[in-house]
Structure 1
Amino acid sequence: MAEHLRSCQFVGRLHDFQTLDKYWSGNRLFGIYGIRAVGKSRFVEEYLKTKECGVTNVDLVGTQQTNSAYTILCAALHIEPSNDADDGQIWIAPLLEHLNDCSEEKPTVIVFDNAEDIIEGPTKDSFMSMISEVVKNCEKVKIFITSTTRVLFTQLGKVYTSQKLEPLSQADTEELLKFAAPNVDFGPYRNVIIELSEGLPLLILMIGSELTAVSRQISVREMVNLLLNCRLEALSHVQYSDEYRVGFVYKNFIKRLADIYQEHLSTLDYIPGSFNAMEAEGMLEVGSVALTKHNALRPILSRHVLNYDSNVQRFNIQGILREIIKSEFVVKNLPEVRRRYCKTFTAVMKEICRIMGTSEYTKAMSEFAMEQPNLCKLMKEVNHTKEDTYHFFIEVASSCTELIEVYMANDGQQFYNSCLSLAEQYGRQEDKAIVYMAVGSMETLTKVRYSTLYQKLGWNIFKQGECEEAIKLYKKSFDISNKYTDDISNILTLQTMGYIGVVYVVLGNFDEAEKYHFPTLRMCEEKHGKIHPKTGNAYNRIGLLFDQRGNALKGLEYFQEGLEIKRKAKAPPISIVYSLSNVANSLKVLDRFDEAHAVVDEAFEILERQDIYMLDGYSLMFNTRGKIYARQGKWTEASTAFNKTVEITRLVEQSSYIYMKRLVNLAEMLEKCHRFKSCLEVASEAIALKSETTKALPHNFIAIECYQCMARVHNFLGHTADYVNALLEIDKECLRLEKVCTAQYNEMELERIDQIREELDEQFNELKM
């Protein structure tokens, strides 16, 4: 850990790190508290860099309501919040499910930063209840809470620890001062400055920046006098707390800035959250973004009044300094600053809404999580707007309905009411019409949510193998969304039609599947155009229809057309990889092996170009390559590929149908290679997953395939008892599947069961001979 601190130039706190490290393995909830500017957020950030875990940061500055905290958390996790966020029993379940899913690959840490407002707010109990539910139900999730207030979780004492972050020790203060001012000769004043800095990292860094500024205007002795005068001024305000009185010291440092920088700072403070350089340029209007960085932001940044997060390229004003700026510095020309704010963040909000419906959805949610306090303030600015600026809010009302309804519902109704009042006041009929349409869209969205709910229920039921019930739910979703003509409803209608077609393909009802897949393709082309990822997906599904029907050549045509569309539309890499897998599988069936391997090579090249190691993509393509080799009769090469598939899949899907299927593929290839011991070991690992995969997908045949493999090996080795047991297990599975497939009216699979039983009869007859 000490090596990490030196490598990132994080000075001090080694003892605090060691204290926290004692509790890391056994605890899952950590409260880090202390006075402002003591470095709580940075302390947690640097500590987590020493751990192998995924980190989700949720900045709660200014947040007082639990449902707002929940919404910000959902945005940071890239999931849609529940519409019933006031009812903890309803909305907590999907959140817990998502956290458990995303923590399967590696442990997850959620950091609720600057949580003092909500801890001291009216919904403290519900916030703590949400935290408790996550801790109780998500074993691989750890939570950090930073705040100025200590928070207690009495019922979670065994897994909760709180740690107060004190000001730096004298030794750590001296080390940080050396880092901040490495070439300054402090002479006899070193210990005095160390004492007067009070162990506050921010103050120490500001002292260092003043003493090392290029245009240095203060000596070490003058710095001592400045700090002494600040302390005297602070001590004279006995009615204030110790923490607040430190603010008088910071005020004098801010006043040492040039007037223009003080003015920039008070203008930027109008932004409640973090901001990027483009947003700063919109507020300051000093020229280009480059000039804003060079002439406005860097001079303030070098004095540690701003901080900068290089990971997301955003600036922020130090929390305690905001209070000083608000109370001691006046925003010049406030109406103009408000106009700039509305203009700047209207553009930000519209851009987030624009990309929400694209393949950049994850980026949109990440940006919203960072911009949330800024956008909430924008919606409240409607109460201060005048005729020359209210058009910004009409733009938001017309363009951002979905974002407001889903992620900003608390402020939505009041916002639209204010927009209507402004439209009435300024007498613009077209604006009133826009707002009324937006309100109507919100009502439509509420109805559409029921459509989405039925769609999600249908998917869950389908995954459990209850295809007929899934179709009923999908059709309910279709009936709701098909009543409306707005874009959201049209998208839902298209999605649902595609899902219904997929279920009919699984049921072997290909004629019925055609009735949905081909209209879906036509509607996709009409709505999105010929070149669009969703159009490519529609072609891909028709390819699967023909492939399952046994027409591999026709399936290949549609797979290739879908792949070409995805390439031209620049679909997400993983989507292209999935299409390449389908093309390769069709080429395999047609015995066009060289072409199939070339397609797999292309998929691997795409995966290797990605910054993130796509485990699902690699496992899929090794599996595809294994199936090609198996078709060729190259058993050794196939077993090698399947083994790689299993190794990767084991990391992410240890109890799934997919994992069991890939284990069986490997077992069958080991059988072909006469590696019987290894084959039986892998088959035994696979069959141990039978109950879970049967529950998730009742109509699957993978257990039968696994028992058939084991039966062949036991028969070859002369293990008669084990051979008979395997045959009996196959017979039991046939009985189970017959009931499932009869209930699903799945004629194709019932024919397959009859074939398996004929083989069983022959095998039992041979035993009697």
Structure 2
Amino acid sequence: MGAEVSKYSDGSLDLAFVGRENDMKMVRELLQKYKTIGIYGMHEIGKSRFLVELFRNMNKSGAICLMKDFELDDITSSYVHYKWFHDLFSYTDLQTKWTDFKIKFPGENIVCDICKRCGNKLSCESKKSCLEQAANAAIESVKSCKKQIMIFLDNVDKIIDSDLKDCLLHFIHELNEKCPKIKLVFCSNNEVKCLHKSYGRLVLGALAERSILKLIYLTTECPDDVSTSEYDDNVSNDKNAQNNETAENLFKQENQYFTPENKVYMDKIATLCEGHPLAAIISGSLLTEDEGILTPEELMEILTEARLEVLGQDHCPPDHRLDACETPLQKVKSVYRVIFNEKRIASEGILGDSSAL
């Protein structure tokens, strides 16, 4: 159930990983107790980055890890489902089982004759039945696997919100109950209520304001280290000490943005990000793009104005509040473009007068 498996060799995304030390410790403890763990949290809170960091750390520890991101999958494609089973078998020591599976489900389409005539519609009950049969066959095959395997599934909401929800939940349940050597960690915006109580759960909350400030700092003052992680087990003690020292002394006169004079503005920007790591990264990017044409004070004013307007009663009725708050940074970008254009016009006007002289 999925398209190509994402195999992150180094686990890096273009976002720094900070402020999740306690969460990482907690999920490691859960892995000692449960075979299946759900990681939940609101949209854009950092679940995918957290999952990739966990994948990277477990991969370095010697575990056999399989990473799958459903975000870009065409879940209506039967080939996509077949490819997922192929990748699952490829990580086991059961090549003969894979051969038997291919004989039972030949070709690269897990479909029935009806599906070929109805255009592979996702809502087709026959197709879902075929897919469930294939899942059961795969589970029966991999349950005898001797290797310890960890499966990481990201953005499962795409399937949970589709007609394939029952197929996915059935697969997770059977994997948990029948495959002793396989552990599963998945990410979802909303908690899956129908999962068994024997599953572990971790809810990622908003980042602490200090961590948000550190993200903005890394984006503006250390852009080459923006994909760094504070929690790499292989990093030396000296490097960890450097990271901790930087976190305590962010504002220095030699910095371009994090100067003592800008502290009040940077602190306010961090507050307005409200614990969202992506908001911190974008805020830092807005300060550095176009050769720093936007000052910290101006960005603070933009964020304040955009937040007040988004949260206003005229723009955000109670029944639309969540929808209005989903992309508040769109307002930031539009206001930013206005300021940028005004500064550019003013700059061109000055240059024009100088050339005339």
TM-score, reference length from structure 1: 0.30
Aligned equivalent of 1:29:
36
Structure 1 position 253 matched with structure 2 position 253: no
The one-letter amino acid paired with 1:53 is: A
Structure 1 position 231 matched with structure 2 position 307: yes
Structure 1 position 92 matched with structure 2 position 135: yes
1:235 is displaced (CA, Å) by 1.2
Find 1:14's aligned residue among 10, 15, 21: 21
- CA deviation profile, 1:76-109 (whole Å, cap 9, x unmatched): 43566933662466323431255346x523x222
Contact kept, 8 Å, 1:234 with 1:246, in 2: the verdict is: no
Find 1:212's aligned residue among 268, 271, 288: 288
Contact kept, 8 Å, 2:316 with 2:324, in 1: the verdict is: no
Counterparts of 1:574-723 in structure 2 under 5 Å? none
Give distance in 2, aligned partners of 1:66 and 1:27: 32
- CA deviation profile, 1:153-202 (whole Å, cap 9, x unmatched): 44x322x1122211211222222222222331232213211110111111
Give distance in 1, aligned partners of 2:280 and 2:291: 19
Instruction: For CA contacts below 8 A with separation 6 or more, give which structure has more relative contact order.
Output: 2
Aligned equivalent of 2:266:
190
Q: Secondary structure at the match of 2:177?
A: helix
1:139 is displaced (CA, Å) by 1.0
Contact kept, 8 Å, 1:233 with 1:248, in 2: the verdict is: no
Contact kept, 8 Å, 1:32 with 1:162, in 2: the verdict is: yes
1:65 is displaced (CA, Å) by 6.2
1:126 is displaced (CA, Å) by 2.6
Aligned equivalent of 2:197:
157
The one-letter amino acid paired with 2:209 is: Q
Percent identity of the aligned residues? 22
Q: Secondary structure at the match of 1:25?
A: helix
Structure 1 position 40 matched with structure 2 position 82: no
Aligned equivalent of 2:297:
221
The one-letter amino acid paired with 2:134 is: W
Aligned equivalent of 2:170:
129
Counterparts of 1:173-322 in structure 2 under 5 Å? 173-182=212-221, 183=255, 184=257, 185=259, 186-213=262-289, 215-236=291-312, 237-239=315-317, 240-242=320-322, 244-250=324-330, 252-253=332-333
Find 1:104's aligned residue among 146, 159, 165: 146
1:38 is displaced (CA, Å) by 1.0
The one-letter amino acid paired with 1:194 is: A
The one-letter amino acid paired with 1:172 is: S
Contact kept, 8 Å, 1:33 with 1:164, in 2: the verdict is: yes
1:10 is displaced (CA, Å) by 2.2
Contact kept, 8 Å, 2:132 with 2:167, in 1: the verdict is: no
The one-letter amino acid paired with 1:56 is: L
1:46 is displaced (CA, Å) by 0.3
Counterparts of 1:530-549 in structure 2 under 5 Å? none
Give distance in 2, aligned partners of 1:192 and 1:89: 52
Structure 1 position 74 matched with structure 2 position 85: yes
1:50 is displaced (CA, Å) by 2.1
- CA deviation profile, 1:297-344 (whole Å, cap 9, x unmatched): xxxxxxxxxxxxxxxxxxxxxxxxxxxxxxxxxxxxxxxxxxxxxxxx
Contact kept, 8 Å, 1:113 with 1:146, in 2: the verdict is: yes
Larger radius of gyration between Structure 1 and Structure 2: 1
- CA deviation profile, 1:90-135 (whole Å, cap 9, x unmatched): 323431255346x523x22222211112212233223211111111
- CA deviation profile, 1:707-760 (whole Å, cap 9, x unmatched): xxxxxxxxxxxxxxxxxxxxxxxxxxxxxxxxxxxxxxxxxxxxxxxxxxxxxx
Aligned equivalent of 2:205:
166
Give distance in 1, aligned partners of 2:83 and 2:67: 10
The one-letter amino acid paired with 2:161 is: E
Give distance in 1, aligned partners of 2:156 and 2:78: 14
1:206 is displaced (CA, Å) by 1.0
Contact kept, 8 Å, 1:55 with 1:110, in 2: the verdict is: yes
Shift in alpha-carbon separation, 1:9–1:245, aligned structure 2, 3 A = closer
Find 2:67's aligned residue among 48, 51, 57: 57
Q: Secondary structure at the match of 2:328?
A: helix
Contact kept, 8 Å, 2:302 with 2:335, in 1: the verdict is: no
Aligned equivalent of 1:397:
none
Give distance in 2, aligned partners of 1:12 and 1:98: 40
- CA deviation profile, 1:36-86 (whole Å, cap 9, x unmatched): 211111101101222232222222236666968743522543566933662
Contact kept, 8 Å, 2:143 with 2:179, in 1: the verdict is: yes
Aligned equivalent of 1:113:
154
Aligned equivalent of 1:538:
none
Give distance in 2, aligned partners of 1:214 and 1:98: 56
Give distance in 1, aligned partners of 2:140 and 2:316: 51
Give distance in 2, aligned partners of 1:41 and 1:127: 19
Contact kept, 8 Å, 2:16 with 2:215, in 1: the verdict is: no
The number of residue pairs the alignment matches comes to 249
Q: Secondary structure at the match of 1:55?
A: strand
Give distance in 1, aligned partners of 2:207 and 2:79: 34
Shift in alpha-carbon separation, 1:255–1:57, aligned structure 2, 3 A = farther
- CA deviation profile, 1:403-454 (whole Å, cap 9, x unmatched): xxxxxxxxxxxxxxxxxxxxxxxxxxxxxxxxxxxxxxxxxxxxxxxxxxxx
Contact kept, 8 Å, 1:30 with 1:144, in 2: the verdict is: yes
Shift in alpha-carbon separation, 1:111–1:202, aligned structure 2, 3 A = same
Contact kept, 8 Å, 2:45 with 2:204, in 1: the verdict is: yes
Shift in alpha-carbon separation, 1:66–1:47, aligned structure 2, 3 A = same
The one-letter amino acid paired with 1:224 is: M
Structure 1 position 145 matched with structure 2 position 186: yes
Contact kept, 8 Å, 1:234 with 1:249, in 2: the verdict is: no
Give distance in 1, aligned partners of 2:323 and 2:79: 28
Give distance in 1, aligned partners of 2:26 and 2:321: 28
- CA deviation profile, 1:374-419 (whole Å, cap 9, x unmatched): xxxxxxxxxxxxxxxxxxxxxxxxxxxxxxxxxxxxxxxxxxxxxx
Q: Show structure 2 runs of 5+ residues with no match.
A: 1-10, 91-97, 112-126, 222-254, 339-357
TM-score, reference length from structure 2: 0.61
Shift in alpha-carbon separation, 1:254–1:98, aligned structure 2, 3 A = farther
- CA deviation profile, 1:581-611 (whole Å, cap 9, x unmatched): xxxxxxxxxxxxxxxxxxxxxxxxxxxxxxx
Aligned CA-pair RMSD: 3.2
The one-letter amino acid paired with 1:191 is: D
Q: Comparing 230-239 with 217-226, which one deviates more in the overlay?
A: 230-239
The one-letter amino acid paired with 1:212 is: T
